[in-house]
Structure formats: structure tokens, C-alpha cells
Chains A and B, each alone.
Chain A
Amino acid sequence: MSFFQLILKNLFRRRSRSLLTLGGISIGIAAVVSLSGIASGFERSWANVYKARGTDLVVTKSVTRSTMPGPFPFALKAELQRMPHVREVGALLSDVFSVEDSPTILVIGWETKTSLWNHVKLVSGKWPDDSSKNTVALGTLNAEMLGKTLGDKVQIESGEYTVCGIFSSPALAESGAIVMPLPAMQSLTNKEGMVNFFDIWLEPNTSVGDTEKLRVSIKAKFEGLTAFNPGSVAENNIAMQIAKAMTWAVSSIALVVGAIGVMNTILMSVFERLHEIGILLAIGWRRGRIMQMILAESLLLSLVGGFAGCGLGAVAARLLQMSPWVHGKLEADVGLPLLGIALLIAIALGALGGLYPAWIGSRMSPATALRQ
């Protein structure tokens, strides 16, 4: 019999309790994996939007109270356009609405005749233009979610719109969105003359240093506005900050509960085995080996729970991604690095949960244990 077989045997002896603990750990790890996967998928899907558009800098309000940045005047565009290296500025106004049965649909007003429209492709119909106020284009995924085709009516807040086009976008978040011309969006939201993003394209071959200089000078010039590189979108988006904080909070709770579960199980098994531990000490087992045995039981339990939790978490992330709140906005990002971290966390749980019981077990006095 190998030491490992002995550990397995010890865990199998208390099969139902080991299984329950395993379940607890795997749920904790699954929470970490699925929530982190969703949060980082959220982040990546926005980064993809800017990548698809080829945006070099994004200008938005520096302080935001809601998940969507607040509005500022479209008129600032002229000044931005005059700054060095700026090739083009495109204005956007976006917000999230509940549309028919879908609770959170992104609706974007794009300034017409800008590069904002370049990266998307019409699949059918035509683009809405400034003259026709009540027409919209739906992303392919959005059309599928709402069950709409060309000519159908869509109710957004108080306004009724006709679907005049369906488009595809390389970015999932846009594919799940509704697009209309900027003026139509301004009247839908009662924000005439306002926008909440400028996407800036720079002249080709603008150096990283010049980009950074421009970014800093935009911040300095326009009070209350900030400019950021699309790559750092997460730091500038309050929704993502919230998503990360929630992930962190829920994961820590799940992990603390998991660690207490492991400790409870292993501690109970040590207390039940004090007599046996006394026998092992009497027949010459070193105290270190008693510790090894108990720690190994706890580590094995949490490692298996960790693997199960990774699988469960990947499935849960898929399911979350299909939920009406999230569907069409992101693709969960459950990659090897995340799974690796989750396994490390599981190992840490096992070590934390096993250390105290192992210490208790190794302190047994064999003579006392054998008298009982």
C-alpha cells in the first residue's frame, strides 16, 4: 500500500462527508470561475468593440454616477478635431434600455458620415439615416434575441421604431445592440445636442508618445472629461468596476465558506481518529507523518473539488452568458490562466483547512490515546 492509497482509503471511509465537502469546495471554486469568467468576458467584449472600430482614443466624462457615462455637448467635437494628430472624431450617445422582453439592450446613436459605421456590415435592408427619425438597424444577435426582421416594429421606451436594416459586427456587444443615427438617439433620450462618447482616430504613424501627449492634453483642456486608450477600458468603465468588485466579494465569501467546510470535515475526522492516531504514534509514526497524512487528505479533497469546480464553473459561465441580462453583451472568458488560478486557490483552501486539524492530530499523546 502506498501513502497515497492510505489517504484515499481514509477519505473513502467517510464517503458521504467527503462528497459533501467536495461539493462545497467545487461550488466555491465554480463561483470564482464563472463570475471571473463573466467579468473578464465583459471587459474583453468592450475592448473588442474598440478594436473593431479601430479607435485610438476614447473621450468620455471623467466622473460618472451611473453605469453609462453622463452626457456632454456635441459642440466640443470641433475643438477636438483641431488638436494635433487627430484624423477624425466620431460622436456617440449610448444607453441601456429594457426592450420588450429583454431587460438590458444596448442602444447606440452613431454620428452619420463617420468611420463609426465602417467596421459593421449590412446583412439586409439599409442603414437608417438622419432624415428618417423612426428607423433603426439591429445587430444580428439582437434581431435573433428580439425575434425581429426587416419591417417589424420595435418599442423602445415611449418611441416606436421600424427595423430598416440588420447588420453584423465583429464585436459581440455591438452584435447584440440596436443602432440609430445620433439625432434620433438624442431625441429618444431627451438629450438634444449631447453625446456621451467621442471615438478618436489618429493620423497613421502617430507614435505612442504623441498619443499619450494628446491624451493628457485632452484631459487638461476639457474640464470634466477624460481620454483613455481602448486597452484600458476597464479602468474607465464603472460597470466593469462594479462587476469586478462583485466578483471579488462573492468569490471571497464562497472561498471562506469553502475553507471552513474543509476544516470542519478534516477536524471531525481527526477527532474521530484520535485513538488511531495514538496507535500510529505508538508504532513509530513521526508526528510529521501524522501531519502529512492529515494535510494530504485535506489537499486531495480540495484539489478534486477544485477540478470539479473548474468544470462546473465553465458550465455555469456558459449558462450565465445565456441569461437575458447578459445575453448578447459578452462571451465568458474562461481560459487556462483563470482555471490555473482557481486550482491554486483550491490548493490554498486545502492547506488552510487542513493545517489546524493536522496540528491537533500531531500533538496527540500516544499513551493517553491508548488508555481510552
Chain B
Amino acid sequence: MSSKNALIEVRNLRRSFDYGAVQALRGISFTVEQGEFVSIMGPSGSGKTTLLNILGALDSEFEGAVTIDSVEMRHLAEPERFRSRTIGFVFQSFHLLPALTALENVQMPMFERKWRASERRTRAAALLGSVGLEHRMDHRPSKLSGGERQRVAIARSLANEPKLLLADEPTGNLDSSDALKILEVLGAIHQQRNMTMIVVTHDCDVAAATNRTLRVRDGQLVEKQISNGA
């Protein structure tokens, strides 16, 4: 089941909380190819965020094997360093820093790179332009609409040119027109950058836009399904 082009390999992944009282993931296995756009769907509490946190090196206390970009995730010495180079995160509630402007927010991950301040600025401006926010660069999050905030967060997730973009319900806090715009932005990124992307969603339109949907229930994969969208 392992393939030459697999960016992500997950084998028999288990994760429990509260000393085994809560079994969030009960043996999940799948692979994701380089350049694939995958969605994950499932009811609330089924373990989607838990899975995404493990893929994003935010959580290493799991059982089973998870390999991303040939790196074994369980005993990662410097998860921050791995996140900084390999992963871009997009969250349901945006998680922008409220005191910083859009442009500054996008620059934050870049402090881990040896880029000059002027280069950080130029790159951040280009990223904001690519998500259609060139006129909102000096606005703070509180002055932006939900859709705009999420586009800032997407631009930020691309700041260090990651290999893998992880989005946890990116449209969950948005109305349908904003959600559509986010979906377009994600689709464009996937096409232009040939980036591997995993999106957790409750939204069938979002799932339909991806190459493939993984369905999760009670911590297990129910079926695999290739969708025809995009």
C-alpha cells in the first residue's frame, strides 16, 4: 500500500485521551500522494481535529506509524522546526494575531527563515495579493470580514512555502458566499502550486471540490471515496 510518491503514510494510527477513557482514533491507515487534494469528513467528535494535529506535528502522543515527507512523526526532535518548514495550518477560527495588521500576520512564520525584513515584507505582500487582499494589507483582523480573515490566514499558511497544507474546517465559520471564495482560493493554490492539501470539512461542496474524501466515524475510516470534483 505504500507508494513511491506518497507524501503522507499513516498506519494503524491510534490516539486516546484521559488514560484511555476517550478513544479518539482507533486504528486509521491511509496514504496521501504528493500533490493530492484530500478532504476529511465526519460527524462532530469523530477525531478529525485529532488526526490533523498529529499530521501537523502538534501532537506526538499516538500509537502507530505516521510518516510525512520521509520523516517519522512519533519521535520528532524539533516539531516546531518541522512545522515551520513542511506544514501550513489553516484553522476554523482563523487564529490571527489581533494586534497585527494582515501584512504583519502573514510575516510571522517568516521569522524562522533567514530573510531580511524587506524580503519578508515583499513576500507577504505577494501572498496577500495572491488571495486577493492587496487593498487590505494594513488592516487589523478586527477590520476584516470573516472571509477576508480566512484569506489572510491562508496567505500566512503559505508564508514558508510548506509542502503540506492542513485546514481544519476553514469554511466552518463563514457564510456560503465567503465559503465559496475560500474554496476558490484553495483550489487555485492547489492548481498553481501543486501542493498537497488536506481539508477537514462538514461542507459537501468543499468535499466535492477535492480529489478524494476520507470519511471518519468514531475514530475509524468508514470508506474511501474518490470524488470527481475540481
Contact = CB atoms under 8 A, between A and B. Distances in A.
Interface in B61-107: 78, 80-81, 83-85, 87, 89, 91, 95-97, 99-100, 103-104, 107
B80 A286 contact: yes
A2 B115 CA distance: 10
A220 interface: no
A97 interface: no
Nearest to B50: A367
**Size bin of chain B's contact surface:** 20 to 34
Contacts of B59: 367
Interface residues of A, number: 21
B171 to A, nearest CB: 18
Contacts of A280: 97, 108
A306 to B, nearest CB: 26
Contacts of B97: 276, 279-280
B56 A282 contact: yes
A13 interface: yes
A1 B80 contact: no
A84 to B, nearest CB: 74
Interface string A203-235: 000000000000000000000000000000000
Contacts of A284: 80-81, 83-85, 87, 109, 112, 160
Which secondary structure dominates where chain B touches chain A?
Answer: helix
B108 A370 contact: no
Contacts of A2: 117
Interface in B105-146: 107-109, 111-112, 117, 120-121
B25 to A, nearest CB: 14
Given A1-B120, A367-B53, A370-B91, A285 B99 contact: no
Nearest to A2: B117
A1 B117 contact: yes
A53 interface: no
Contacts of B188: none
Given A2-B117, A13-B99, A366-B58, A282 B83 contact: yes
14 contacts: A1-B107, A279-B97, A282-B83, A283-B89, A283-B159, A284-B83, A285-B84, A285-B108, A285-B109, A286-B78, A286-B80, A286-B81, A286-B84, A367-B53
